[in-house]
Amino acid sequence: MITRLNVHRQSADWQRALAQAVTDPEELFQRLALDPALLPAALKASEQFRVRVPLGYLGRMTPGDPNDPLLLQVLPLAEECLEIPGFQCDPVGDLESMPIPGLLHKYHGRVLLVTSGACAIHCRYCFRRHFPYRDASAIREAWPQILMYLRTHEEVREIILSGGDPLTLSDDKLAAMVSDLAGIPHLRTLRLHSRLPVVLPERIDDTLLGWLTGTRLRPIMVIHANHARELDGTTRAAMERLELAGVRLFNQTVLLRGINDDADALAMLNHALFDSGVQPYYLHMLDPVQGAAHFAVTEEHALTLMKQLSRQLPGYLIPRLVREVPGHDSKTQIAHSPHAVEGFSL
């Protein structure tokens, strides 16, 4: 969380933009000229998971269009309050693979740190909408333990800063973290997973590039874009700055019903990513999180989309279709031969 003090002290453009994000459902409805009949449901659903939309991102939406693919990612709906069997609060088993608060070690060679519970945008489909960040992002108190864990696990090559969104933290904090991590000789790669290059491109400023590229660790960033319309001149400029500074860029998309679940939308997204210097990486099946069932796409439809994509796009623009299955030692690729995934069906 950014305190008022912090904003005054540093008052970087991105911190002002973050502080100005829309958090009141009523304001969201007014700014986008939405049907007031939907407001009571939005207010109710936002009690479970608050609204948060940066103004720049809101500016890429079409006012008056209730089906705008950007709006649908942030608009609280009555459907969120339904309890659907199979949709859970901790769908990816995070709480079981956390040896230290804030540290997830599920896969060989890479460790994920939950660095912050805060995000610049609240995505309604988020698999961490129920995550107990208050316990899990205790990274400040657990930091010495985390460093000790990493020092004693010499097989770990890559450190992943995730969240919430790591780029909601101040540059001072991030720089200090990265400097400690760079002191662990077997670590090679510093990966950030962040939606800020897309939803708050102001964040990619010189101060950020300073600590991100001023380390011996090889920096890579996975941005999270779901739709071509999320990318405009401001985001393209942010990606260019990252690319010029030597940061390798990848994208991860969540496959979302009504937002990007058709081949043309996905093809346009992957072309737009390429135009921004970003390599498509994963197309994620939705995690079955409670409150997000209305975004779910069936595996059958996902496979059809992949087939259509492979006809439309060069191989290097096709992301891998994956799902996260609790207990598996990597993301699970969904291949063309249809198969059931344990514990989950649609």
Question: Residue 255, interface with ligand SF4 (CB under 6 A)?
Answer: no
CB 92 to ligand SF4: min, Å:
12
Q: φ, ψ for residue 253 (rounded to 5)? A: -120, 145
Question: Residue 199, interface with ligand PLP (CB under 6 A)?
Answer: no
Question: Residue 169, interface with ligand PLP (CB under 6 A)?
Answer: no
Binding footprint of ligand SF4, residue count (CB under 6 A): 11
Stretch of 116-124, 267-275, 321-329, 338-346 contacting ligand SF4, by CB under 6 A: 116-124
CB 165 to ligand SF4: min, Å:
5
The one among 28, 121, 150, 160 contacting ligand PLP by CB under 6 A: 160
The one among 104, 220, 223, 292 contacting ligand PLP by CB under 6 A: 104
The one among 65, 79, 107, 308 contacting ligand PLP by CB under 6 A: 107
Question: Residue 106, interface with ligand PLP (CB under 6 A)?
Answer: yes
Question: Residue 110, interface with ligand PLP (CB under 6 A)?
Answer: yes
| Whole-angstrom distance, CA of residue 306 vs CA of residue 295 | 18
CB 137 to ligand PLP: min, Å:
14
Residue with tokens 């339904």: 82
The one among 32, 34, 75, 123 contacting ligand SF4 by CB under 6 A: 123
| Whole-angstrom distance, CA of residue 239 vs CA of residue 3 | 28
Count CB atoms within 10 A of the CB of residue 42.
20
Question: Residue 164, interface with ligand SF4 (CB under 6 A)?
Answer: yes
The one among 128, 227, 294, 323 contacting ligand SF4 by CB under 6 A: 128
User: One symbol per residue from 196 to 235: x for binding ligand SF4 (CB under 6 A), - otherwise; what is it?
Assistant: ----------------------------x-----------
